[in-house]
């Protein structure tokens, strides 16, 4: 059994959905579980309609929803020939959109928008796209079953970034999905969405469909977890920033986890963990060019002598500098700093210490004021906003001399705010001003990949 996750651009219109059906049909013998994202842009539109309603612009919010309804109708009309099926789908979508309009009316009246309401609204995108695809697969004569992911993707109640309850999911997935797999039915379900113990809709956070796919794959001991997207695989950098980026044929779980965590959007940051637990290969593939072999992410890829494999980056980082001459060398100082971040559930990404200060990076600032207030009770605190992290990744970095030199050489003219060697020693991360991130990535890419070594590891984008 394999899991096949298709992202938003892979189901953006009828033509793309048709391609998806062909890809799924070819894998029929492996009884695929198809995990779907919303059609591209749908989640953004849904969230925007909720925010517009909260601002009191109900009519505008409803116009956004109407536009989204029309887009879905266009997709199904161009995809499914059977008129009766289309009419039934339209009737059910009308009901869903009426519910959405009611939610927006409530939000507009209260002027209040909770993460719980945001999840209720955002989840509809995946429900709609998956319903269309399931009907389309069926109308092409394949046996397919639409399954509501909320029946098995059980999570806690942290709306907008819910934490999966793995044991429960294992149980429910086996109970609900295994009989369908045994019957050779293609399962079509949603990524991104789940439900808490009361059955209320939750989501795993933006981009969470990749994570859903690997959770499902791990729960059912899949042979492979396929992530179908709009690029050939995991590349040496984001091709939108470095147009010369090349595809990596194979990388390790650890490398992929670091890249995803530090901003390589091609994988949700948590995707790798469930796969690692069961040692299931994750394969990133391009739905626009299904013949391409993609990138295989495995526990132990063959060793290469290539130190740097890829460069990731993220923006919107805040650096918190904590200084206390009195306490720096004192026992428990770091613990007291981290306990403040823990208390406010704010993950710290990078840490660097000097003789007189500790610098940390965070990417969510919701509770920053409270954090500063508590830290200020025992230390001096200063904040640097609008920073970016660049992360250079490769599992041979630790055993290759001169990589840091090359990094600093490429970034001679860039002011480095923080430098950290990852604990895993397979990455080096740099904090720089947000506005310099793109240029820095391009320079590093040029430094490490301008003359790509002659090895099987890399492949030009667009190759076989």
**266 forms part of the interface with ligand ADP (CB under 6 A):** yes
Strands in 338-440 per DSSP E: 351-353, 357-362, 380-393, 418-421, 427-433
Q: Which residues bind ligand ASP (CB under 6 A)?
A: 7-8, 37-38, 43, 125, 191-192, 206-209
- Total number of residues binding ligand ADP (CB under 6 A)? 20
Which of 118, 173, 234, 362 binds ligand ADP (CB under 6 A)? It is 234
Gap between the Cα atoms of 236 and 247, Å rounded: 6
| Least gap, CB of 341 to ligand ADP (angstroms) | 27
CA 156 to chain centre: 19
Distance CA 214, CA 212 (A): 6
The tokens for 380 are: 């001096």
Phi-psi region of 233 (alpha: psi -120 to 50; beta: other; left: phi over 0): left
From 21, 19, 464, select the one nearest 247 (Cα to Cα).
464
CB proximity list for 82: less than 8 A, separation 6 or greater: 139
Structure tokens at 272: 């790798």
Nearer to ligand ASP, 209 or 236 (CB): 209
8 versus 388: smaller Cβ distance to ligand ASP: 8
Q: Which stretch binds ligand ADP (CB under 6 A): 8-16, 69-77, 99-107, 369-377?
A: 8-16
* CB nearer to ligand ASP: pick between 125 and 274: 125
Dist. CA 126–CA 124, nearest whole Å:
6
- 24 or 266, CB closer to ligand ADP? 266
The stretch among 21-29, 258-266, 379-387, 436-444 that binds ligand ADP (CB under 6 A) is 258-266
Query: Whose structure tokens read 């001679």?
Result: 412
CA 270, 444, 315, 368 dihedral sign is: positive
Instruction: Say whether residue 207 binds ligand ADP (CB under 6 A).
Output: yes
Q: Any contact of residue 231 with ligand ADP (CB under 6 A)?
A: yes
- Which range, of 82-90, 99-107, 226-234, 417-425, touches ligand ADP by CB under 6 A? 226-234
231 touches, from ligand ADP, Mg ion, ligand ASP, none (C-beta below 5 to 8 Å by class): ligand ADP
CA atoms of 390 and 110, how far apart (whole Å):
41
Nearer to ligand ASP, 8 or 281 (CB): 8
Smallest separation (angstroms) from Mg ion to the CB of 8: 7
Q: Within 10 A of 382 (CB to CB), how many other CB atoms are there?
A: 12
Residue nearest to ligand ADP (CB): 7
Stretch that binds ligand ADP, among 2-10, 51-59, 180-188, 446-454 (CB under 6 A): 2-10
Query: Cβ neighbours of residue 132 under 8 Å, at least 6 residues apart?
Result: 17, 72, 75, 76, 79, 80, 89
Closer residue to ligand ADP (CB): 210 or 374: 210
Asked if 207 is part of the footprint of Mg ion (rule: CB under 5 A), the reply reads yes
Helices 42-54, 83-110: axis angle to 10 degrees equals 30
Q: For ligand ASP, give the closer residue by CB, 37 or 321.
A: 37
- Between 57 and 289, whose beta carbon lies closer to ligand ADP? 289
- Report the residue from 265, 278, 289, 398 that binds ligand ADP according to the rule CB under 6 A: 265
- The footprint of ligand ADP on residues 295-354 (CB under 6 A) is 310
Q: Are 445 and 393 in contact (CB under 8 A)?
A: no
Stretch that binds ligand ADP, among 153-161, 225-233, 376-384, 431-439 (CB under 6 A): 225-233
Instruction: Please give the DSSP secondary-structure letter assigned to residue 233.
Output: S
Sequence-ordered strand ranges (E) for 27-135: 33-36
**Left, alpha or beta for 41 (phi > 0: left; psi -120 to 50: alpha)?**
left
Q: Out of 238, 255, 258, 395, which residue is the one contacting ligand ADP (CB under 6 A)?
A: 238
In angstroms, the CA 401 to CA 142 distance is: 55
* Cβ-based nearer residue to ligand ADP, 239 or 316: 239
CA–CA distance, 159 with 226 (Å, rounded to integer) = 27
Q: Per rule CB under 6 A, is residue 260 in the interface with ligand ADP?
A: no
Beta-strand pair 186-190/144-146: parallel
Q: Least distance to Mg ion from the beta carbon of 206, Å?
A: 8
Give min distance, CB of 304 to Mg ion, in A.
27
What is the CB-side half-sphere exposure of residue 220 using CA atoms within 13 A? 29
The answer to whether 264 contacts ligand ADP (rule: CB under 6 A) is yes
Residues 6+ apart with CB under 8 A from 428: 391, 392, 397, 403, 404, 407, 419, 420, 421, 422
Partner whose binding site includes residue 266, from ligand ASP, ligand ADP, Mg ion, none (CB under 5 to 8 Å by kind): ligand ADP
Q: Is 255 in the site for ligand ADP (CB under 6 A)?
A: no
Q: Which spans of this chain sit near ligand ADP (rule: CB under 6 A)?
A: 7-10, 37, 207, 229-231, 234-235, 237-240, 259, 264-266, 310
């Amino acid at each position: 059994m394999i899991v096949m996750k298709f992202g938003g651009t892979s189901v953006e219109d009828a033509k793309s959905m048709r391609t998806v059906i062909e890809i799924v049909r070819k894998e029929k013998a492996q009884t695929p579980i198809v995990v779907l994202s919303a059609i591209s842009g749908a989640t953004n539109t849904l969230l925007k309609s909720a925010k517009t309603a909260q601002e009191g612009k109900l009519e505008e919010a409803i116009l956004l929803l109407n536009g989204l309804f029309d887009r879905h109708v266009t997709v199904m009309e161009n995809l499914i020939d059977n008129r009766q099926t289309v009419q039934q789908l339209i009737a059910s979508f009308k009901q869903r959109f009426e519910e959405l309009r009611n939610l927006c009316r409530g939000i507009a009246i209260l002027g209040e928008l909770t993460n719980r309401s945001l999840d209720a609204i955002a989840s509809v995108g995946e429900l709609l796209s998956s319903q269309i695809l399931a009907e389309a697969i069926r109308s092409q004569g394949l046996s397919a079953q639409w399954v509501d992911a909320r029946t098995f993707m059980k999570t806690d109640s942290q709306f907008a970034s819910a934490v999966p309850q793995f044991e429960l999911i294992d149980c429910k997935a086996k109970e609900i999905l295994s009989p369908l797999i045994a019957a050779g039915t293609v399962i079509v379900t949603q990524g991104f969405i789940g439900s808490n113990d009361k059955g209320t809709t939750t989501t795993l956070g933006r981009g969470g469909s990749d994570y859903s796919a690997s959770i499902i794959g791990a729960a059912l001991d899949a042979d492979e977890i396929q992530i179908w997207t709009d690029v050939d695989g995991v590349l040496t950098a984001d091709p939108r920033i470095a147009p010369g980026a090349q595809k990596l044929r194979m990388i390790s779980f650890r490398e992929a986890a670091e890249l995803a965590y530090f901003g390589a959007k091609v994988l949700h940051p948590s995707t790798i963990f469930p796969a690692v637990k069961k040692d299931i290969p994750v394969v990133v593939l391009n739905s626009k060019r299904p013949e391409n072999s993609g990138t295989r992410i495995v526990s132990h890829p063959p060793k290469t002598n290539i130190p740097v494999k890829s460069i990731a980056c993220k923006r919107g980082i805040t650096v918190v500098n904590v200084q206390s001459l009195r306490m720096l060398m004192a026992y428990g100082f770091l613990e007291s700093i981290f306990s403040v971040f823990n208390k406010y559930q704010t993950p710290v990404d990078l840490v660097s210490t000097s003789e007189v200060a500790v610098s940390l990076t965070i990417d969510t600032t919701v509770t920053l004021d409270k954090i500063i207030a508590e830290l200020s009770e025992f230390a001096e605190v200063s904040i640097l906003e609008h920073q970016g992290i660049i992360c250079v990744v490769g599992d041979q970095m630790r055993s290759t001399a001169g990589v840091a030199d090359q990094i600093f050489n490429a970034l001679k003219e860039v002011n480095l705010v923080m430098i950290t060697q990852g604990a895993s020693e397979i990455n080096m991360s740099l904090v720089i001003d947000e506005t310099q991130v793109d240029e820095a990535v391009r320079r590093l890419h040029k430094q490490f990949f301008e003359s790509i070594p002659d090895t099987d590891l890399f492949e030009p984008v667009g190759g076989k």
